[in-house]
């Protein structure tokens, strides 16, 4: 069975939700690991959870990105293991340079906590391989700094290399201005690295993985975790 | 050479093409509406003031520039960073 680490930083607050879903819903071996205790690459996959690491001081994720744990996580990513950053975890991966671009303050200058519709833009990543391209996922967001930004040149590269994984869309499944909750460039909600084994997303799939917790009784978030683990098993990396 | 303690400011702001909603809001809703229409633009940023022991102002500035790059005090994808000696 694949073994997953949920890495906890001072100020992480979605770590237990991710742990619960991985252990009890996805049913995989998962350990909560304090960032300073992560000294060896002993896991098949790493989840960097949401929260407010180091109080979001300097910039969301900027200080956690200098934690020694990121050396291990970078090494794991180089070894083709799965690294998933959710919300603050996404910000940390961007600040650590494991993902390109930046995540800036919401254009409306407010913390937003709402359900969003996401379109799966590619299923070539290990995090969306169990979903169909174009599938719609309803997953909530909860953040103050979620506005994805990159310069035009990098955006062209992201598009060309199929690194844009999720986009915010409206009821007609189109990435319109109205469907964009935070001013993200091109309605981007989640991206991956060039290889596809490192992904960051602002929405919280761990909050949409149990039917009771979703307004429509679905479990759309599970596909992210299920895909991540099914591809680990496929590769025989147990 | 002037060994001593220097005060160095680091200013981090969004690149010109990255929208700055905080600066825009301060501009439109406070400054222009508050009676200062001659102000045409406001950019908000973050200011850090560091005290540095160094041999000279140049060394102090170089050290701060290096630490800004090394520790990613700014994100080069979205920000510009200015380092200046203020005292």
Is residue A206 part of the annotated active site? The answer reads: yes
Nearest CA in chain B to A182: B21
Contacts of A154 in chain B (CB under 8 A): 77
pTM strictly above 0.80: yes
A186 inside 8 A of chain B by CB = no
B21 inside 8 A of chain A by CB = yes
* Confidence band, pLDDT 50/70/90 cuts, at residue A233: low
A105 inside 8 A of chain B by CB = yes
Query: Could you tell me the two tokens for A53?
Result: 């690491």
Contact A95 B19 (CB under 8 A): no
What's the rounded Cα separation, in Å, for the pair A118 and A199? 15
How close, in Å, is residue A168 to chain B by CA atoms? Answer: 19
* Confidence band, pLDDT 50/70/90 cuts, at residue B3: confident
Cβ-proximal residues to A178 (8 Å cutoff; 6+ apart), any chain: A170
pLDDT at A235: 46
Contacts of B72 in chain A (CB under 8 A): 62, 65-66, 95, 97
Is residue A159 part of the annotated active site? The answer reads: no
Q: Is the ipTM of this complex over 0.90?
A: no
Contacts of A97 in chain B (CB under 8 A): 72
Mean of the pLDDT values across residues B53-60? 95
- pLDDT score of A237 more than 50: no
**Residues B73-87: tens digit of each pLDDT:** 999 999 999 999 998
Of the residues A14, A35, A95, A204, which is catalytic? A204
pLDDT at A231: 83
**Residues A104-145: tens digit of each pLDDT:** 999 999 999 999 999 999 999 999 999 999 999 999 999 999
**Residues A169-218: tens digit of each pLDDT:** 999 999 999 999 999 999 999 999 999 999 999 999 999 999 999 988 99
Other residues' Cβ atoms within 10 Å of the Cβ of residue A173: 15
* CA–centroid distance for A73 within its chain: 14
Choose from A67, A104, A106 for mutation: most chain B CBs within 10 A. Answer: A104
- pLDDT score of A234 more than 60: no
**Residues A151-168: tens digit of each pLDDT:** 999 999 999 999 999 999
How many beta-carbon contacts under 8 Å exist across A and B?
46
- pLDDT score of A99 more than 90: yes
- How many Å from the N-terminal Cα to the C-terminal Cα in chain B? 15
Contact A109 B72 (CB under 8 A): no
- How many Å from the N-terminal Cα to the C-terminal Cα in chain A? 5
pLDDT at A104: 96
Contact B75 A102 (CB under 8 A): yes
**Residues A35-86: tens digit of each pLDDT:** 999 999 999 999 999 999 999 999 999 999 999 999 999 999 999 999 999 9
- pLDDT score of A238 more than 80: no
Of the residues A14, A35, A87, A219, which is catalytic? A87
How close, in Å, is residue A222 to chain B by CA atoms? Answer: 31
Is residue A14 part of the annotated active site? The answer reads: no
């Amino acid at each position: 069975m694949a073994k997953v680490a949920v890495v906890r930083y001072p100020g992480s607050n979605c770590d237990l939700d991710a742990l619960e879903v991985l252990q009890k819903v996805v049913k995989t071996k998962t350990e909560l690991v304090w960032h300073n205790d992560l000294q060896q690459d002993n896991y098949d996959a790493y989840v960097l959870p949401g929260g407010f690491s180091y109080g979001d001081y300097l910039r969301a994720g900027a200080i956690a990105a200098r934690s020694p744990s990121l050396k291990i996580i970078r090494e794991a990513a180089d070894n083709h293991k799965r690294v998933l950053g959710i919300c603050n975890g996404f910000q940390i991966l961007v600040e650590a340079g494991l993902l390109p671009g930046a995540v800036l303050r919401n254009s409306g200058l407010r913390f937003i906590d709402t359900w969003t519709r996401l379109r799966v833009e590619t299923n070539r990543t290990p995090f969306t391989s169990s979903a169909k391209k174009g599938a719609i996922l309803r997953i909530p967001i909860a953040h103050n700094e979620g506005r994805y930004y990159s310069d035009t040149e990098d955006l062209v590269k992201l598009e060309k290399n199929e690194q844009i994984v999720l986009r915010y869309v409206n009821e007609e499944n189109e990435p319109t201005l109205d469907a964009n909750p935070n001013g993200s460039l091109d309605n981007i909600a989640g991206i991956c690295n060039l290889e596809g084994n490192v992904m960051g997303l602002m929405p919280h799939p761990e909050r949409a993985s149990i039917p009771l917790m979703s307004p429509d009784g679905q479990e759309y978030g599970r596909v992210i975790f299920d895909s991540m683990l099914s591809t680990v098993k496929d590769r025989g990396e147990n | 050479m002037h060994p001593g303690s220097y005060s160095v400011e680091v200013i981090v702001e969004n690149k010109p093409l990255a929208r700055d909603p905080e600066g825009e809001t301060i501009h439109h809703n406070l400054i222009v509406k508050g009676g200062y229409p001659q102000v045409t633009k406001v950019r908000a940023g973050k200011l850090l003031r560091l005290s540095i022991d160094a041999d000279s102002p140049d060394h102090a500035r170089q050290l701060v520039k290096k630490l800004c790059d090394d520790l990613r005090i700014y994100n080069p994808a979205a920000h510009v960073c200015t380092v200046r000696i203020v005292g």
